[in-house]
């Protein structure tokens, strides 16, 4: 039987996208849950949800494991009014920032352009929120029913995002788009006049943290001490919010990869030490960490899209203290996304990867910056940890401490521009000591893969600002208080190479698990059970 897809009409979508009214203000989605455990109230959806998990203990005398199914009673409240939301990009004039701004403008205004193959319409392909569906359930004929991912719960539409930001270079966004050489020339021509009116705010520039070859770009930088820069960044966020009449602002780092910051006791290991280090102008406080702190103090969620360790322990502690959201690190766009799928497949198939060798060459400014050893090291770290949880899940293949050889090479080749070449070789041990080699050659337009991730990260982060929860027990002495999720948004892991998680929380890199978590958490917000593929309705007798 063929599946059923439920979606609103294209005309309705365009009308909602361009309307001044909030299309989600009433909590309207593609469906409504018919359950006594779900309540559609004034401005919110509330759900009761029994979370099934299994607690495993070990009898140390016999070595036997005991698995105990348990249920936890959660209640979720999701505010349905999105309001007016803004996105401030650090590195707005870079390839990703200028590309995503131009693409949102083209989608919002329905701007098409001519190619050798004919007229091309704008779209949001590559965005899991905007261009993928999730299974809602089955109909009376046991056919699967699918809905757009972004209609499981009320979400912001990218066409409605107000975009601004900072850059160390003074080019307006129209000229920055031309410099990036990512989008087709006819599309550039059609959006240029509007984009040239957008100019980035001065940004923070510390030469020690990015490659020396970026100095020639740095003509739009803040002066003053680090404390003064922090205050200026906070003012920038407040002014952007007030000027544009925004309900919320999200800040995202899409600027150059920095070197790793040293974690130093008394400097960036606690919230108070980090704030004191900024006040004292300590050299080991990076620009990205300064942006993160400014965002946290202004209550603006911050997402790090580059591989450096922006979210040092002190920044995470500060976010927890201020009840502000953070997420990171590093956009997961092409090669690493494939690696998180293929490694999971091999290990789950009982095949043992022995060596994973990855080679990249690219010619955009990101590649130029990564040609410096310290900046390359940040990228190498974010790429290398992607298979750790999969290896750790199978002690039949890997003995304690054993790990595949994992080598990563990145080279700057100016002539290929934004069209990155990625080559991977997977050598695995198979049955009876045999070897299997898989080689992959991947050509990807880097910024056209990364830009939809910016949209996804924005949409999911914004959603989490409207969600609260509480845990009910049989012995509640008083009504539990609603509270936000933990400050570190691990729900963003699907879009990030090296997911930052809360202390004592496992890191999950396997792509299918990350998507399943994101999907099922959103289902829980509207009182639906997690999706599974048991298909008992087809296998059991009726």
Active site residues: 330, 379, 420, 497
Element (DSSP H or E) covering residue 518: helix 511-525
Token pair of 57 as six digits: 């203990």
Cβ neighbors of 377 (< 8 A, separation 6 or more) are 259, 260
Indicate the helix (H) or strand (E) that contains 367.
helix 365-370
Q: What's 447-488 look like in SS3?
A: HHHHHHHHHHHHHHHHHHCCEEEEEECCCCCCCCCCECCCCE
Helix, strand, coil % in the chain, rounded to nearest 5 = 35, 25, 40
Helix ranges restricted to H, 181-299: 185-195, 226-243, 271-279, 287-297
Contact 158, 458 (CB under 8 A): yes
Q: Decide if 17 contacts 24 (C-beta within 8 A).
A: no
Distances (CA, A) of 15 to 19, 114, 122, 216, 378: 6, 24, 16, 44, 43
Beta strands in 339-397 (DSSP E): 352-362
Residues 6 or more apart whose Cβ sits within 8 Å of residue 399: none
Q: Of 268, 270, 153, which Cα lies nearest the Cα of 527?
A: 153
Distances (CA, A) of 8 to 130, 222, 347: 13, 46, 40
C-alpha torsion angle, residues 306, 309, 313, 318 (rounded to 10): -30
| Residue in the block written with tokens 């080559």 | 423
Whose CA is closest to 255, among 298, 294, 310?
Answer: 310
In the chain the first and final C-alpha atoms are separated, in Å, by: 18
- How many residues are there in the chain? 542
What is the rounded distance in angstroms from the CA atom of residue 321 to the CA atom of residue 310? 17
Q: Is 22 helix (H, G, I), strand (E, B) or coil?
A: coil
């Amino acid at each position: 039987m063929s599946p059923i897809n439920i979606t609103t009409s294209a005309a309705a979508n365009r009308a909602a996208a361009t309307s001044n009214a909030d299309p989600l203000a009433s909590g309207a989605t593609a469906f409504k849950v018919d359950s006594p455990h779900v309540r559609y109230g004034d401005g919110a959806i509330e759900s009761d949800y029994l979370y099934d998990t299994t607690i495993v203990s070990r009898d140390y005398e016999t070595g036997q494991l005991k698995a105990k199914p348990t249920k936890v009673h959660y209640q979720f409240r999701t505010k349905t009014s999105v309001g007016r939301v803004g996105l401030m990009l650090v590195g707005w004039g870079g390839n990703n920032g200028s590309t995503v701004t131009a693409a949102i403008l083209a989608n919002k205004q329905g701007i098409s352009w001519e190619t050798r193959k004919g007229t091309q319409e704008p779209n949001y392909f590559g965005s899991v929120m905007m261009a993928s569906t999730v299974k809602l359930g089955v109909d009376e004929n046991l056919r699967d029913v699918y809905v757009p991912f972004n209609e499981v719960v009320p979400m912001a539409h990218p066409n409605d995002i107000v975009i601004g930001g900072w850059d160390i270079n003074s080019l307006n966004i129209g000229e920055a788009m031309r410099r990036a050489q990512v989008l087709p020339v006819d599309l550039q021509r059609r959006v240029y006049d509007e984009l040239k009116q957008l100019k980035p705010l001065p940004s923070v520039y510390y030469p020690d943290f990015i490659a020396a070859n970026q100095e020639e770009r740095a003509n739009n930088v803040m002066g003053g001490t680090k404390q003064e820069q922090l205050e200026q960044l906070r003012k920038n966020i407040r002014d952007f919010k007030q000027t544009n009449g925004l309900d919320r602002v999200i800040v995202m780092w899409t600027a150059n990869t920095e070197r790793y910051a040293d974690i130093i006791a008394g400097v960036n290991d606690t919230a108070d030490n980090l704030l004191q280090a900024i006040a004292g102008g300590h050299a080991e406080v990076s620009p990205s960490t300064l942006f993160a702190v400014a965002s946290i103090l202004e209550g603006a969620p911050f997402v790090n899209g580059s591989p450096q360790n922006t979210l040092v322990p002190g920044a995470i502690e500060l976010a927890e203290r201020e009840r502000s959201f953070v997420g990171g690190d590093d956009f997961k766009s092409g090669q690493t996304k494939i690696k998180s799928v293929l490694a999971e497949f091999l290990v789950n198939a009982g095949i043992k990867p022995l060596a994973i060798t990855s080679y990249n060459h690219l010619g955009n400014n990101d590649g130029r910056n990564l040609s410096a050893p310290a900046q390359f090291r940040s990228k190498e770290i974010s790429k290398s940890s992607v298979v750790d949880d999969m290896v750790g899940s199978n002690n039949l293949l890997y003995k304690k401490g054993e790990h595949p050889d994992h080598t990563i090479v990145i080279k700057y080749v100016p002539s290929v521009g934004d069209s990155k070449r990625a080559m991977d070789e997977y050598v695995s041990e198979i049955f009876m000591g045999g070897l299997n080699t898989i080689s992959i050659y991947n050509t990807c337009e880097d910024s056209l893969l990364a830009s939809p991730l910016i949209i996804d990260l924005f949409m999911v982060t914004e959603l989490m600002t409207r969600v609260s929860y509480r845990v009910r027990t049989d012995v509640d002495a008083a009504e539990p208080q609603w509270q936000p999720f933990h400050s570190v948004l691990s729900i963003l892991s699907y879009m990030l190479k090296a997911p930052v998680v809360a202390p004592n929380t496992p890191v999950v890199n396997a792509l299918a698990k990350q998507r399943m978590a994101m999907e099922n958490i959103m289902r829980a917000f509207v009182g639906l059970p997690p999706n599974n593929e048991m298909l008992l309705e087809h296998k059991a007798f009726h």
